[in-house]
Amino acid sequence: MKRFHIALAVASLDESIADYSRRLGHSPDAVVPGKYAMWRTDLLNFSINEKPEQAGQLRHVGFEDDTADAYSSSVDVNGLEWELFSAAEQDARIVSTYGVAVRSTRT
């Protein structure tokens, strides 16, 4: 599976989880309380980080691609960071960066 990935900074994780869960039609697939949340849909891998000083800013984009051998990152001609990773690699990076995520049962 290949999904487009977008990562945003948000002012309030809890308020943003409620808002984006309504917009995406289900609760996040993973949450690290006070720090991070991530949703996976058929086409999109969407993550948010609580960073009030950067709220609303695009952090990076890329692709979740289960054929990716490892995590990679590059910067395009406009200075935008692009990531490439598998779902398993992202899950491991969530734990190493933010701590253990609470897995959600979709609602």
- The pLDDT value recorded for residue 88 is 84
Residue 106 domain-assigned (yes or no): no
Whether the CB-CB separation of 59 and 7 falls below 8 Å is answered with yes
Residue 27 domain-assigned (yes or no): yes
For residue 81, give every residue at least 6 positions away whose Cβ sits within 8 Å of its Cβ, in sequence order, or none.
Answer: 59, 60, 61, 62, 73, 74, 75
CATH number of the domain at 49, please.
3.10.180.10
Going by their DSSP bridges, the two strands 81-85 and 58-65 should be labelled as parallel
Residue 48 domain-assigned (yes or no): yes
Residue 105 domain-assigned (yes or no): no
Q: Which residue has the tokens 């487009």?
A: 4
Per-residue pLDDT of the chain (107 residues; tens, 9 = 90+): 899 999 999 999 999 999 999 999 999 999 999 999 999 999 999 999 999 999 999 999 999 999 999 999 999 999 999 999 998 888 788 777 777 777 665 55
Domain count, the chain: 1
Question: pTM for this one?
Answer: 0.85
Q: How far apart are CA 6 and CA 41, in angstroms?
A: 12
Whether the CB-CB separation of 58 and 7 falls below 8 Å is answered with yes
- The pLDDT value recorded for residue 104 is 61
Structural domain of residue 50, as residue ranges?
2-98
